Structure 1
Amino acid sequence: MSGPDPAAGQTATAKKSSGTRAWARKSTLVLLIAVLALAVFGTTTQTWMTVTLDPNQVGQAGAAQTALEVQGSKAATAVTALALVALAGGLAAAIAGRIARWIITAIIVLAAAGIVAAAATVLANPLAAAQGAIAAATGITGSQAHVAVTAFPVLAVVAGCLLALAALLIIPAGRHWKTRTKYDAPAAGSAAPPAGPVDEIDSWDRLSRGDDPT
C-alpha cells in the first residue's frame, strides 16, 4: 500500500493558490492601497484653490499679491498626514496576523474617513480654508476674496472613498493569505529521508528532527 503522493499534495496546493481571486491576493490589495494613499498624498502637492484678493480690502499689504495659489497641504493639512498613515497601514497589512489585520483595517478606514472629511470641508467652504494662506500673505485675517477651487480636492475625496473600500477588502481577502511563522522554515526545509540503508548516524539525525526511523 503506497503512502500519500507529495507531488499530488503540492499540485493541490498550487491549484488552491491559483484559484484565489485577483482582488484577494495580498500583493494586489496592498499595491492598491499604496497607490490610493499615494494618490491622495499627490493631490496635496497640487493647487487646490486660486484666491483672488480684493486690493481695496487688503490695501498695500496685499497689493503685490492679488492672486494666491493654495496647495492642498496648506488648505487641508490633515490630509497629508492621514495619507501617510494609510500608506503605512497598507504596507503593515502585508506582514500582519489575523487580529492585527482587523486593527490595521480600522486605522486605514478612519484615515480615509478623515481624508474625505477634510477635503469635503474645503469644497464646502473654500474661503474659510484659504484664510490661513491669505493671512500669511497679507497679514490680515477675515479678508473677503474670490476663491476658485480646482479638481484636486474632488480627486482627494474620490481617492479617500476608494481607499476605505480597499481597506475593507483586507478582512475577507486575509482568509486566503498565508501566515508565516518561525516554524514554517524548518518544516519546509526539512530534508527527505534517505532512500538507501539507514545507519546509526542517520537514525540519530532523524531523531533530532523529530522523525522515528523505526
Structure 2
Amino acid sequence: MRRARSLSVVGMLLAGAIGVISSTQTWIDVTLADGAQQTLAVPGSDAVPVLTPLSLAALALGASLSIVGPVLRYVLGAIALAIAAAVGVATALVLLTLPVSATAATVTEATGISGADAVADLVASMSLTPWPAVTLLAELILAAAAVFTLVTARNWPGSAGRKYRTAADAPADASRPHDAIDSWDDLSRGDDPTA
C-alpha cells in the first residue's frame, strides 16, 4: 500500500504543477477590431482566475498527503476532489464555449475599456491554444488521484511522523543505567530528569 500513497502524492503534485505552469501560458489569442487588428495573448490566469491559487493548493495537498494521518487523508482527498471539480468546470467552459468574458481582463488592460458589452464589441476573433485541454487533463488526473486517495487511504501504512514520535516516546530500557541522553529524553517528554 506504500505504492498507493506514492501514486496519490505524485498525481496531485503533477496536476498542481501543470496547473501552475498552465496559468502562465497563453490560452486564447484575441484579435481586436480596432483598425490595427491588434492580437493579444490571454494567459490562463486571466481566462480562469482561480487556476493559479487552486493549483498551488493542489501542490500543497500533494506534499502534505505524504505525512498526514488517516483522518486527514480523507479530508485532503475531498479537498483535492473539490479543487479538481472547480478548476475542471471553469476550464471546460473556456474550452467548449470560448466566452468573451475569459478575455475581458486582458482586453481591458490593453485598451482601458471595460464592461462586458464594450469588450465584446472590441473582439473580432478568438482562437484557443492547446493549454486549456492540457489543464483539463491535469484536473482529471487530480480528480483520479483524489478518488484513489479516498478509496485506498485506510490501507496506507502509518505516517512518518507517527513512526518518529513512537520511537521518541518509548521508555528507556530499565536494564541499563540512566545516562545523559535518557535525561534529555525525560526532559523532552516533560518529566523532571532530576527526580
TM-score, scaled relative to structure 1: 0.69
Please give the residue correspondences for 1:28-177 in structure 2 after superposition, counting only pairs within 5 Å: 28-56=7-35, 63=36, 66-123=38-95, 124-140=97-113, 141-142=118-119, 143-174=122-153, 175-177=155-157
Counterpart of 1:78 in structure 2: which amino acid? Answer: V
The gaps in structure 1 that reach 5 residues or longer are 1-19, 57-62, 192-200, 209-214
Kindly tell me: are residues 190 and 80 of structure 1, through their superposed partners in 2, closer, same or farther at Cα, counting changes over 3 Å? same
Quote how far apart the aligned CAs of 1:203 are: 6.9
Structure with the larger RCO, 1 or 2 (CA within 8 Å, 6+ apart): 2
Quote how far apart the aligned CAs of 1:202 are: 3.4
**1:52 counterpart SS class:** strand
Residue in 1 aligned with 2:175?
202
Residue in 1 aligned with 2:192?
none
Counterpart of 2:166 in structure 1: which amino acid? Answer: D
Q: Give distance in 2, aligned partners of 1:190 and 1:35.
A: 43
Q: Give distance in 2, aligned partners of 1:158 and 1:176.
A: 27
Kindly tell me: are residues 178 and 68 of structure 1, through their superposed partners in 2, closer, same or farther at Cα, counting changes over 3 Å? same
CA RMSD of superposed structures (Å) = 2.6
How many residue pairs match? The answer is: 169
**1:96 counterpart SS class:** coil
Q: Give distance in 2, aligned partners of 1:203 and 1:131.
A: 74
Please say if residues 126 and 147 of structure 1, whose CA atoms lie closer than 8 Å, have aligned partners that are also in contact.
no
Identity across aligned pairs (percent)?
Answer: 31
Kindly tell me: are residues 94 and 29 of structure 1, through their superposed partners in 2, closer, same or farther at Cα, counting changes over 3 Å? same
Counterpart of 1:27 in structure 2: which amino acid? Answer: S
Where does structure 1 differ by over 3 angstroms across 4 or more consecutive aligned residues?
Answer: 186-191, 201-205
Q: Give distance in 1, aligned partners of 2:165 and 2:2.
A: 27
Please give the residue correspondences for 1:14-29 in structure 2 after superposition, counting only pairs within 5 Å: 20=1, 22=3, 24=4, 26-29=5-8
Kindly tell me: are residues 74 and 97 of structure 1, through their superposed partners in 2, closer, same or farther at Cα, counting changes over 3 Å? same
